[in-house]
Amino acid sequence: MGRRLSVRVPATTANVGSGFDCLGIAFALHDELELELTEDPTELSITVDGEGEGNVPLDERHLVIQSLLTGLEAWGGRRPGLRLTCHNRIPHSRGLGSSAAAIVAGLAFAWGISRGEEPLDLPELTRISSRIEGHPDNAGAAVWGGAILAWFADDDVRLVNLDLHDSLGVRVWVPDFEVGTAGARSVLPASVPRADAVTQAIAAAALPLALERRPDLIFAATEDRLHQQYRAELMPQSWDLLRSLRAVGVPAAISGAGPAIFAVGSVEELAAADACRADGFRRLEPAVGTGVELRVEG
């Protein structure tokens, strides 16, 4: 024992407008976690600073620990004593992938404990984290970084890495209120009008092309008809900001299940956002992020 592990995992945005439940982007806002292993397998201590401090459980209900134990079971690792320190920078319950980050971090720790001499198996990490989190666009982006297209195929996850066009940047508007993912899911209808489904299919089909090779299509490709309008009642401030941004040509979308707002576009498109009031929102301009990183010492 006495081994130390550290994990760095990025925030993510899912959907990117029309890419509902299948397209995600990581950006350079990270949770950084440290884990010390001890001899006593009953030992568990958790320290949290930053986002979630004072609100998340400090026992086995902590999502990092839950995921770590799931990973140990999957990979045949023996549970040691655990001293976990979390430096959280990803806002919670804002649609920025904090749960996906915690799950991926816990699984990365489990890999380091079970198979620390081997590099992280990213497809395996993607498969298990997506199964736990439920959304391969969020979990996959946290594992791989950059932009990804991902979907479930039976018990596996199919994932395509997208090369974002050099002209594209991102902005994020983080509100001072939360919306739980479960609540945001509960308001979605079981069916939508055919015209909306067709519009969504066209936009979603164009979105990977727009992100990689045709940034001139990005505004149209981020149009959504499946989820954002139905969630407006849960986050009216976010809905108003979204409409204001798109009215001046900013390719903006609700980030994940909200209530944060995310935009991807050219310098000129993102600069148009300066004309919009965003009272109650903190604006970030992160770079596109890299995927999870694991370091094992001792």
Q: Report the binding-site residues.
A: 91-101
Q: How many residues does the chain have?
A: 298
Query: What is the rounded distance in angstroms from the CA atom of residue 186 to the CA atom of residue 239?
Result: 17
Is residue 51 a contact partner of residue 11, using CB atoms and an 8 Å limit? no
Spatial CB neighbours of 281, under 8 Å, sequence gap ≥ 6: 173, 174, 175, 176, 237, 241, 261
- Determine phi and psi for 195, rounding to 5 degrees: -60, -40
Detail the residues annotated as belonging to a binding site for ATP: 91-101
Quickly count: other Cβ atoms within 10 Å of residue 231's Cβ: 22
Query: What is the rounded distance in angstroms from the CA atom of residue 187 to the CA atom of residue 180?
Result: 12
Is residue 169 a contact partner of residue 280, using CB atoms and an 8 Å limit? no
Is residue 69 a contact partner of residue 60, using CB atoms and an 8 Å limit? yes
| Alpha helices for 52-180 (secondary structure H) | 63-75, 98-115, 122-133, 136-144
What are the C-alpha distances in Å from 23 to residues 140, 158, 159?
9, 12, 10
Q: What is the largest CA-CA distance in the chain?
A: 61
63-75 vs 98-115: helix crossing angle, rounded to 10: 40
Query: What is the rounded distance in angstroms from the CA atom of residue 180 to the CA atom of residue 58?
Result: 20
Q: Which of 109, 110, 150, 112 is nearest to 131 (CA)?
A: 150
